[in-house]
A and B are shown apart, each in its own frame.
Chain A
């Protein structure tokens, strides 16, 4: 196992190829759940968790079930079913054993099913032919990248609401998109970063 390749995958997923700012995956929850710092934190953690587990399960399903049976054309359907089942399972588990976290995540938990970052990460794992360890690392660090992005953006947005002197047509969603664009510009600075 090559350690440097894992480091470069993680750095890539968190900074250089950030899921939000350079791959446009998971914009809907990123825009929807970033109005307050604490909900953003909860959402980020939940997404990281689901992305990690989904990478593991989908890798297993793909390698041991779909490829040997020659069913790779069913990948998209199989993956989305795995993710939907997984989210349901995580929800039941949290409800039973960690009710405080379950309360905090509330409605955002079931919404993760339709988060394209989760389906995106498992599809990219397959597309890039990552092995088991690489898939897991990519899943978790991709989730961490999402967490970093949504936290940064939520802190910007909290201030944006306080000042509230945007032009009238830009109020609400457009000004949020513009600030996300400026954050993406900042993240472009990482694109010069090369690992080994």
Chain B
């Protein structure tokens, strides 16, 4: 078991959003405030880790032909648990994430990791994979939501910090580019972030190639 390698893969070289290009819908839709980003990230980490553990435990019992349906039922059960807990203890978060909490069921990251990793590896490795891939997803959400909130709304930490939880105002009202908070901003910022990632990965590959020569 190689913890460091798994961590590196989850956060950078095999990041679920930036490299595997999974789970785009929720990434772009909810990354408008810091609170949303953290809430969604933690929910996904919990669900991904739990479903990875259970699926890894059941991997010898689930028949191959109906495995996808079995995975979805396991995932849906954990999503329902998280959904109900959020509704009970954090109603404001549950409201602002709206339909995207139950939609974690069909988030390709979770099904993708179940199929590509948990169904082939042991319990401990699968649990670690869940945590690290979840962290990679959360990292992207944090970058996008901090950027979009700061330049689109002019605040930092909306939903948790500042007066009435409206966030700390950094750019005065009237100046921020509202466009970034709107869906268009989601597409543009996410596209730029993936381009940056491709640039970094290419540079790294070139460097490795140069070292070999």
Contact = CB atoms under 8 A, between A and B. Distances in A.
Q: Do A and B bind each other?
A: yes
Interface of A: 21-28, 31, 73-77, 80-81, 84, 113-116, 119-120, 123-124, 127, 167-178, 180-182, 184-185, 188
A119 B185 CA distance: 24
Given A176-B191, A184-B187, A188-B182, 8 more contacts: A24-B183, A73-B84, A76-B80, A81-B72, A114-B111, A181-B186, A181-B187, A181-B191
The binding surface of chain A is classed by DSSP as helix
Interface in B156-198: 182-188, 190-192, 194-196, 198
Given A76-B76, A81-B73, A113-B68, A123 B182 contact: no
B144 interface: no
For chain B, the bracket of interface size reads 35 or more
A80 B111 CA distance: 13
A175 B68 CA distance: 32
Contacts of B192: 174, 178
Interface in B71-86: 72-73, 76-77, 79-80, 83-84
A178 B111 CA distance: 26
B24 interface: yes
B79 A27 contact: no
Contacts of A113: 68, 72, 106
Interface string B17-44: 0000110111011000000000000000
11 contacts: A24-B29, A74-B80, A119-B106, A168-B199, A170-B195, A172-B198, A174-B194, A177-B191, A178-B188, A180-B187, A188-B182
